[in-house]
Amino acid sequence: MRTDSLPDFQSSVKLKYVKLGIHYATTNAKYLLLLPLLLLSFSHLPTLLLSPTSLRDRLLPLLLLRPSPLPTLLSSSLLVLLTTLYFTTRPRPVYLLDFACYKPSDALKCTRETFMRCSSVAGAFTEENLAFQKKILERSGLGQETYFPEALLQVPAKPCMAEARKEAEAVMFGAVDEVMRKSGVRAKDIGVVVVNCSLFNPTPSLSAMIVNHYGLRGNVITYNLGGMGCSAGLISIDLAKQLLQVHPNTYALVVSMENITLNWYFGNNRSMLVSNCLFRMGGAATLLTNRSSDRSRSKYRLVHTVRTHKGSDDRSYGCVCQQEDDTGRVGVALSKDLMAVAGEALKTNITTLGPLVLPVSEQLMFAATLAARRVFNMKIAPYIPDFKMAFEHFCIHAGGRAVLDELEKNLGLREEHMEPSRMTLYRFGNTSSSSLWYELAYEEAKGRIKKGDRTWQIAFGSGFKCNSAVWQALRTIDPKEDGNPWTDKIDSFPVDVPKVAAVKGGSS
């Protein structure tokens, strides 16, 4: 399968997305305009209260003149109204109390050789396509300690609904148990549950499985998101954020995962075989809250979420599609246009995000070059903002080695910025929407998260979507904190990932 590179971001920037970003940046400006009125109203209050003489001198002329109380009453009423409006309509801050990533048992480890053995004994693949999978695997950037569900490690494989439920329960309950233990939050205190899993949507739903298992209260608000791809984790975060704006003093549990048991492709369409080689078992659970009393013990504050959807374009819509091959076997087909489509979605997303996060100097440089090109028709390349000036940490979805290589080049990032993504791909494989949390856990385990640091999470999904979330650390994270999936081996990372890692023993 041919894969194109991401488009050069310097070739074009659509002005409408710049305008959209500026719109987002100024949405809350009205609240800032109220601040000078409040300051002006109270600026003379200390002087009046602390100086009786001054107070008498100021009040005596007013008493002698006996002015109409109407202007004073109107001014006071307006001030009270504006103050009330500000405090009742401002967005509630959303905090990430804690998160946890599921780490399967050692019995579920899947080396490259184990994967090829499972593929060979399945009896479904031609020799040519076994060789094709081996070639993809050797260049994938995956290491020797990724995880596979038990049903696919068996000989013969046992993909069935019961085994798929078993995998889902292990991943979801393992991650949720850990995040509840770390945070100390009780099940009955959870008011919102959002679960995302693209390819496995049983009845009862995955969110219902969590409600049943933990005995959540009867008025809990639940959502189950399916078919939204690897960026659905950030969609879930954005949905939880919106729900926390209208439900005060509560906790939102967000669970992100994918299920492999029923979605391993047993056919010979090469565009569908690539997913077999990259996806692995994993999941994550996060606890969000809008309780101001929890701010001091929370890890991060959610600063921005920016969602980009390119589904109105047919090429974008069809570049990742679950379908049947010519023999009736179901798989996820990846189009040769995937890289180009991802690049366009990313360009739209970062053009919208830029005005929200970039320093003024970067925005002025961008605006100046844009004006020179569009107003004065100058033949100069547009200025691509330096996002390294806006963020200390980058968590880019570990979808595959080629995608990471192209993003590093197009965003002008350095090797250390890509380290969390590359090491996550190597250690855990592509765990779909949960990969961003394994990457953030890597940064925490390395002791790199300091108070005030900003982290940019960005992911791609079918449809086609590109979504971003920006977090700011509320405290310095202890690298020895328990419950981190990297803790036991973090000292051995980063590792050198060869361009080609040979699979021993051939394709069978």
Residues forming a β-bridge with 355? none
CA distance 287 to 267: 39
DSSP output for 62-122: HHHH---HHHHHHHHHHHHHHHHHHHHHSPPP-EEEEEEE----GGGEE-HHHHHHHHHHT
3-state helix, strand, coil in the chain (%, to 5): 50, 15, 35
B/e letters for 298-336, b = 16+ CB within 10 Å, e = fewer, are bbbebbbbbebbbeeeeebbbbbeeeebeeeeebbbbbe
Alpha-carbon separation of residue 138 from 161, 248, 299, 397, 498 (angstroms): 31, 50, 37, 20, 9
CA count, 13 A, side-chain hemisphere, 230: 26
Q: Which of 224, 269, 290, 393 is catalytic?
A: 393
* Helix or strand holding residue 395 (H, E): strand 393-396
CA count, 13 A, side-chain hemisphere, 217: 12
Q: Which of 397, 466, 467, 484 is catalytic?
A: 397
The two beta strands, 465-473 and 454-461, are antiparallel
44 as an active site residue: the answer is: no
User: Contact 286/257 with Cβ under 8 angstroms?
Assistant: no
268 as an active site residue: the answer is: no
CA distance 88 to 470: 24
Q: According to the 3-state scheme, what is the secondary structure of 205-269? A: CHHHHHHHHHCCCCCCEEEEECCCHHHHHHHHHHHHHHHHCCCCCCEEEEEEECCCCCCCCCCCC
User: Contact 467/461 with Cβ under 8 angstroms?
Assistant: yes
230 as an active site residue: the answer is: yes
CA distance 298 to 8: 39
CA neighbor of 182 nearest in space, from 303, 299, 290, 292? 299
23 as an active site residue: the answer is: no
Tell me the Ramachandran region of residue 247: left when phi exceeds 0, alpha when psi lies from -120 to 50, beta otherwise.
Answer: beta
Q: Which of 118, 230, 277, 319 is catalytic?
A: 230
Q: Backbone phi, then psi, for 56, in 5-degree steps?
A: -65, -40
Q: Which residues are catalytic?
A: 230, 309, 393, 397, 430
